[in-house]
Amino acid sequence: MKDLSGFVERLKECNADVHKAREFTPFIVDGKEVGKMRAGFVDIIRAYKDVFTLQRGREGFVGLAPELDTCEKRSQRVAEVLEALRKEGVITGWRDELYPVTASFYEEPVMLIERAAATHFGIKAYGIHVNGFVRDPQTGAIRLWVARRSPTKPNWPNKLDHIVAGGQPHGLIPRDNVLKECAEEAGIPPALAATARPVGAVSYTTVSASGYKPDVLFCYDLELPPDFVPVPQDGEVSEFTLRPLEEVADLVANTTEFKTNCNLVIIDFMVRHGYITPEMPGYLKLVSMLRSGDCS
């Protein structure tokens, strides 16, 4: 594992077609760009003229009707539109989970929207990913707990995943989200989950048929006792396996078995734990690509 090109490929997949972002129409609220929409989605929502405004031309953008001047009013009126689009089959995979719409993580949201609409609006979405690992007490060798997503999951069925990962919903701080997801996804008790250590963040931007997806993932390391065994709780995981880091590295470098954004978090883990070293050509490029999206 001296060639980092497989890892670079995975990072490129996370940032697929990002050059096409210029074809998208900015979504501007309160003078701030908070999203980007594909032309096809702009054509759909412009029919809702009492909610959305459309400025055409080179400097064109989608906005909201001026009387929608609070977070609450905007969230409510946009939710009505989204409910209609859900019935029309435009928005699928409804989650009943609200995401904040904001120019950056620490700003007050200009509104809240259903998670399933996030990529259509091209809003920044945040998540938490937990590297759950076991260290050999003798050799120090690391094994990583890997989840297999259930075959019935609407997104990324059967793909490999982190032991615990989830979107960052409105109204829950990342730390509490980690505790909640640890319990819900893997049966990790709160006292153990509380030892998860925040270790930074990675970012990427994916452009696809679904829309524009500028994501930031808060990364956590959770060292687990050798005798701890995670248990699938909610039917979203079909199995957990504990794999040597070398095997995980091989899967990341040479396959697309992992859900795309997990690769990014695992590569960051391997950099921080010295599994990937400065002597490997491409190291610095790899390190800088871990945060090639708007990390704010």
Q: Which positions touch a second copy (CB under 8 A)?
A: 104-106, 173-175, 197-201, 203, 216, 218, 271-274, 276-279, 281-285, 287-288, 291, 295-296
For residue 67, give the nearest of 80, 53, 56 by alpha carbon. Answer: 53
- Judged by CB, which is closer to a second copy: 167, or 200? 200
Amino acid making up residue 12:
K
- Judged by CB, which is closer to a second copy: 77, or 143? 143
Least gap, CB of 252 to a second copy (angstroms): 17
- Judged by CB, which is closer to a second copy: 157, or 190? 190
Q: Per the structure block, which two tokens stand in for 187?
A: 């049966």
For residue 144, give the nearest of 216, 52, 240 by alpha carbon. Answer: 240
Least gap, CB of 222 to a second copy (angstroms): 11
- Judged by CB, which is closer to a second copy: 105, or 156? 105
For residue 162, give the nearest of 94, 220, 99, 95 by alpha carbon. Answer: 220
- Judged by CB, which is closer to a second copy: 63, or 174? 174
Residues 6 or more apart whose CB falls under 8 angstroms from that of 254 comprise 6
Least gap, CB of 280 to a second copy (angstroms): 9
The 3-state DSSP class for residue 64 equals strand
Query: Positive or negative, the Cα torsion across 113, 114, 117, 118?
Result: positive
Least gap, CB of 249 to a second copy (angstroms): 15
Least gap, CB of 2 to a second copy (angstroms): 12
